[in-house]
Chain A
C-alpha cells in the first residue's frame, strides 16, 4: 500500500478550465457584470461576487426523455392501497414538477473573484495616453541583499560568514588549536626524560604538519555578500477629485460624483502600483479635505471654479512633479459658475492644468429625472465645450441617474484608436 501526500501539490488544477469557461462566457459575464454593477452599490460590486448568466450558450445539451406515462416506486407508504388515486398537484404527488412543462432555462450562477470581476468590469477600458511624460512601465532599479555567493569582489567579503564556515571546517577536520601546541611545547621544555621527550616532539611535529595542511582560512570558506538589482516601479498616479459643494449640489449629485470617483479610483488602482487621491472641494474658495468631509461635510457658499483649479495647480506644483506622476483629474459639478470666473478658469485649465494632466474629465451631474438638462447648457459646460473645441484634452459628460455612471465612465475610457485630440 502506498500513502501519498498530495496536499502540497499545487491546487487550482481547475484554474485553466475555469479560465476557459470564463473566456467562453465572457460576453455573457460582461453583460451580467454591467447589469449587476448598475443594481448594486459600486463598493459591493467591486468586491466581486455572484453574477448570474443565462444558461443558454453555456448549456451542455443531452438527449433527455420527458413526458409520457411514468412509473415510480417510492418508499414510505402509509395509507395507500392498490387502486387508490393521488391528486396530481397536491401533496403525495411526489417530486414531479410536471412533465411537458416546456423548457424553462435556468440561469446559471457563479462566483467571480474580485480580480476576475474587476478584470471583466474594466476589460475594454484603457487609460487615455495623452502627452506622456513618463511611460507607466518605466522602472528604475534598486539594489537588494540576496544571500551569499562564492564569488565576488573583495569589498563584498562577508567576514562573519567566512569565519563561521572556516571554524566549522577546522573543527570538522580537527585542526590543532594554538593552545594545544603551546601546551605541548611547554611540556617538552619541562621534560627531562629523553624518550618521552622524543615522543612529544614527534607529536608536536605531527600537529604542526597538520595545521599546515589545514589552513586557518581556506579559499573555499570565503563568502561574498550577494546583491540583486530589483526593478522599482515608478508607476504612480495621483487623482484629483474636484467637487463643487455649493448649496446647489444635492445629495443625489454628490452620490453620482462619488460613484464616478470610485470607479476612477478602482480603475487607476489596476494600472498603477501606487495611487494617491487628493480631494478638493470648493465653493468660492477651495480647500483640500479628507474623503469624509469631501462627500459629507456641510459647506455652502458661492461658486468659483477657478479656486479649485488654482488649488489643484498649487498642489501639483508642491507635491506632484509631473515628471514623476501621472496626473488625473475628475471634476464634478452641477455646472453653475459665476460668469466672471469663466475667463480665469479657462486660463488656468489651458495653461496650468491640462498640460500636466493625463486626463481631465468633467462630469456634469443633474437631478434625477434629468429635466434640467433639457434647458440650455450650463455656464461651465459652455466654457469647457469652447475649450475642447479649441483642442484641449477634455472629456465631458452629463449624468443624472445612477445607472448612467458606469456607461458614461465606460464611454470616457473606451479604448479607441483616435483619442480626443491630445495637447502637444
Chain B
C-alpha cells in the first residue's frame, strides 16, 4: 500500500509486484468507496492447462477422482482445442480465504478486471448473501474436500475401485435431488462434519437400522400398532432429499457407502446457492468490477488505452443477443444482472415518476451502495427479479412472454409484452424461470411398502405437463434401485393426483463382494 497515485502498470505485462499493486488499488476502492465486506483474498496464478483441469472438477482445487471428471476434461479440451470455447478468465471459490485463479495468459488489464470481479465482487457476494450464509461453510469447504478426496481414495483401497465407482455413479445421478431446499436444519459445519465422520461410521456399523425396527413381526398386530402415518413419520416421509433418505434408510448399504452418499450430498448442497444466484452473483461481480475500473481510470491509475481494452472485454461479457439472433441462448446472467444493478443505481439516484410508483422504498434514496449491499445480501435470483426488474429495463430489453402449449394448434402465443398490461406478468414469468425450485423436477419419496416387498415409492409432481425424460428417468431409477436393493417405483402424478405414468425398476444383482 505504498503508492496511492501513479499508473499501476504500463502496457500489457504484469509481474507479481504489479499484481500486488493492482490488488491494493482495487481493495482501496472496494472497501473505502463501495464499502464491501470480503473474505481475505488468495490469488493464484495458473496456466491454461490447469484452468482446464480446474474446469473439469467443477472448479474446485481438490476433488476426489472419478471418471466423469475425465470425461468432462476430454470434452472441454476438445472444444477448447477446436476453438469452440474460450476459457473463462477466472475461477473463484467460495471459501475463506477466497481463492481466485488468474490465468497467466491474461494481460495486466485483464488481471485487474479479474481481481476486481472475482476477488472483490464475487467475494463480497459469497460472504454476505443469505443463501451462502445459510448453506455453505466457507471456512470448512477446503478441508472437507480434502477429507472427501482422501476418504474416497481410502474406500477404493479397501473396497475396490469398481465398488466405489458404482456407488459414486449412483450418487451423482441423484445429486440434484440430494439437496435440502428449505432451511431449518442447522447450517453446515463441514469441519465438525469431517471429524464426526469417523465416529459415525463406527456407530452405524453397530446400530440397529431404524427402518427394520418397523418391520412387522406379525401382520395383525403391526397393522394396528403402526399406523401408516406413524410409519411415514418414522421414516421422515415425505422426503425430497433422496440422497439423505437413502443414506439414512436404505437397508443394505455398507457404512462406507452411506458416507459416500453423504459426501456427494454435502457437495451438492454447497453448490446449491450458486445455482440459485447466477444472475445476482455475476451481476454483482460485474457491477463491482465496472465501478472499480472506472474509479481507477478516473484516478489515472490505468491509462486510457488499458481502459479501452477493459471496456472491450466488459462489453463482450455483458452482451445480450436478442431472441432471433443466432447467438441467442437464453438470458445472459452477466448482462441481466449488470443491467439490473445499474438500473437500481439509476432508480436510487435519479428516479422517474414511474420508478417512484414501482419502487417507493428505494427510489431517490440516494445511497446507492447501501441499497445494493442490502439487495446483495437478502435476495436470490427469483426474488431479486420479482422485486427489482423495472418497467424501464423491460422496455429497454424489449422483453416479452411466450406461452407454448402443444395443444394449441395456432402456434406459440405471445402472452405479454413490455407494456403496462404486461410488465407484472413478464416480470413474474422471468422470475419463475430463475427459480430452481421450479426448474428441477419435484420428486419425493412418499412411502416404503414395508408389509409387502419393501418397495420404495416415489412421486413426481408434474407441473404444467412436463414429464420426465423416459430414458434418463429409467437410468436414474436403476441407480436408485441399486442403492435401495429392492424394487423402486416412480409415479408421475399431476396436480389432481391423476397418475400419468409409472416406472418400476428392480435392482441389479450385486456382484459378489471382493
B239 in contact (CB, < 8 A): no
B46 partner, pick from A6, A21, A50, beta carbons under 8 A? A6
Q: Per-position contact with A for B30-51: 1 when CB-CB < 8 Å, else 0? A: 0000000000111111110110
CB–CB B400/A11 < 8 A: no
CB distance from B450 to the nearest CB of A (A): 25
Bound form: Cα–Cα A312–B409 in Å: 80
Known: A20-B65, A61-B173. A100 touches B417 (CB 8 A): no
CB–CB A76/B323 < 8 A: yes
B470 in contact (CB, < 8 A): yes
Interface residues in B88-137 by Cβ distance below 8 A to A read 97, 101, 104
B71 partner, pick from A58, A85, A86, A103, beta carbons under 8 A? A58
B191 in contact (CB, < 8 A): no
CB nearest to B47 among chain A residues: A7
CB–CB B412/A85 < 8 A: yes
Bound form: Cα–Cα A68–B461 in Å: 13
CB–CB B406/A100 < 8 A: yes
Kindly list chain B residues whose C-beta atoms are within 8 Å of the C-beta of A24.
67, 165
CB–CB A5/B65 < 8 A: no
Bound form: Cα–Cα A269–B171 in Å: 43
Bound form: Cα–Cα A82–B81 in Å: 45
CB–CB B399/A75 < 8 A: yes
B403 in contact (CB, < 8 A): yes
Interface residues in B152-178 by Cβ distance below 8 A to A read 165, 169, 172-173, 175-177
CB nearest to B51 among chain A residues: A11
Kindly list chain A residues whose C-beta atoms are within 8 Å of the C-beta of B19.
3
Kindly list chain B residues whose C-beta atoms are within 8 Å of the C-beta of A108.
71, 75
Known: A65-B466, A71-B432. A80 touches B43 (CB 8 A): no
A72 in contact (CB, < 8 A): yes
CB nearest to A60 among chain B residues: B68
B476 in contact (CB, < 8 A): yes
Kindly list chain A residues whose C-beta atoms are within 8 Å of the C-beta of B52.
14
Bound form: Cα–Cα A9–B104 in Å: 13
Known: A7-B104, A14-B53, A99-B406. A82 touches B74 (CB 8 A): no
Bound form: Cα–Cα A6–B443 in Å: 43
Kindly list chain B residues whose C-beta atoms are within 8 Å of the C-beta of A64.
441, 468-469, 472-473
B402 in contact (CB, < 8 A): yes
B143 in contact (CB, < 8 A): no
Bound form: Cα–Cα A86–B40 in Å: 52
Q: Per-position contact with B for A218-241: 1 when CB-CB < 8 Å, else 0? A: 000000000000000000000000
B5 in contact (CB, < 8 A): no
CB nearest to B103 among chain A residues: A7
CB nearest to A73 among chain B residues: B430
Known: A20-B67, A75-B323, A85-B410. A69 touches B468 (CB 8 A): no
CB–CB B16/A3 < 8 A: yes
CB–CB A1/B68 < 8 A: no
CB distance from A19 to the nearest CB of B (A): 7
**Which segment, of A31-39, A90-98, A142-150, A409-417, faces chain B?**
A90-98
Kindly list chain A residues whose C-beta atoms are within 8 Å of the C-beta of B469.
63-66, 103
CB distance from B484 to the nearest CB of A (A): 16
Bound form: Cα–Cα A21–B398 in Å: 45
Kindly list chain B residues whose C-beta atoms are within 8 Å of the C-beta of A3.
16, 19-20, 23, 42-45
A347 in contact (CB, < 8 A): no
Bound form: Cα–Cα A32–B402 in Å: 43
B317 in contact (CB, < 8 A): no
Kindly list chain B residues whose C-beta atoms are within 8 Å of the C-beta of A50.
78
- Name which of B71, B411, B432, B464 has the most chain A CB atoms within 10 A of its CB: B71
CB–CB B70/A22 < 8 A: yes
CB nearest to A91 among chain B residues: B324
Q: Per-position contact with A for B271-313: 1 when CB-CB < 8 Å, else 0? A: 0000000000000000000000000000000000000000000
B56 in contact (CB, < 8 A): yes
CB distance from A357 to the nearest CB of B (A): 41
- Name which of B45, B70, B322, B331 has the most chain A CB atoms within 10 A of its CB: B70
CB nearest to B410 among chain A residues: A85
**Which segment, of B200-208, B212-220, B367-375, B418-426, faces chain A?**
B418-426
Bound form: Cα–Cα A95–B330 in Å: 9
CB nearest to A65 among chain B residues: B466
Known: A11-B53, A65-B469, A85-B413. A1 touches B41 (CB 8 A): yes
B9 in contact (CB, < 8 A): no
Bound form: Cα–Cα A68–B439 in Å: 13
Bound form: Cα–Cα A108–B71 in Å: 9
Bound form: Cα–Cα A95–B67 in Å: 32
CB–CB A111/B78 < 8 A: yes
A62 partner, pick from B16, B66, B176, B331, beta carbons under 8 A? B176
CB nearest to B475 among chain A residues: A61
Interface residues in B335-379 by Cβ distance below 8 A to A read none
CB–CB B464/A14 < 8 A: no
CB–CB B433/A11 < 8 A: no
Q: Per-position contact with B for A104-130: 1 when CB-CB < 8 Å, else 0? A: 000011110000000000000000000
A84 in contact (CB, < 8 A): yes
Kindly list chain B residues whose C-beta atoms are within 8 Å of the C-beta of A178.
none
CB–CB B403/A69 < 8 A: yes
A74 in contact (CB, < 8 A): yes
Q: Per-position contact with B for A1-29: 1 when CB-CB < 8 Å, else 0? A: 11111110101111011111111100000
A14 partner, pick from B57, B405, B471, beta carbons under 8 A? B57
B451 in contact (CB, < 8 A): no
B73 in contact (CB, < 8 A): yes
Bound form: Cα–Cα A7–B471 in Å: 43
B198 in contact (CB, < 8 A): no
Bound form: Cα–Cα A16–B71 in Å: 11
Interface residues in B443-483 by Cβ distance below 8 A to A read 443, 460, 462-473, 475-476, 479
CB nearest to B40 among chain A residues: A1
CB–CB A17/B65 < 8 A: yes
Kindly list chain B residues whose C-beta atoms are within 8 Å of the C-beta of A172.
none
B414 in contact (CB, < 8 A): yes
Identify 24 residue pairs between A and B in the complex whose beta-carbon atoms are under 8 Å apart, listed by A's number: A4-B44, A5-B16, A5-B44, A6-B45, A14-B56, A17-B66, A60-B68, A62-B173, A64-B441, A64-B469, A68-B462, A69-B464, A71-B404, A71-B415, A75-B322, A75-B397, A76-B322, A77-B399, A83-B413, A83-B414, A85-B411, A86-B413, A92-B324, A110-B71
User: Chain B interface (Cβ within 8 Å of chain A)?
Assistant: 16, 19-20, 23-24, 27, 40-47, 49-50, 52-54, 56-57, 65-71, 73-75, 77-78, 81, 97, 101, 104, 165, 169, 172-173, 175-177, 320-325, 328-331, 397-407, 410-419, 421-422, 426, 429-430, 432-433, 440-441, 443, 460, 462-473, 475-476, 479
Return the 10 tightest CB-CB contacts between A and B, nearest first.
A76-B322, A21-B70, A68-B465, A68-B466, A17-B70, A61-B475, A74-B323, A110-B74, A20-B67, A77-B400
- Other 12 A-B pairs with CB < 8 A, given A2-B43, A67-B467, A68-B463: A14-B56, A17-B56, A21-B74, A61-B473, A61-B475, A69-B407, A69-B464, A74-B328, A76-B321, A94-B323, A100-B406, A109-B78
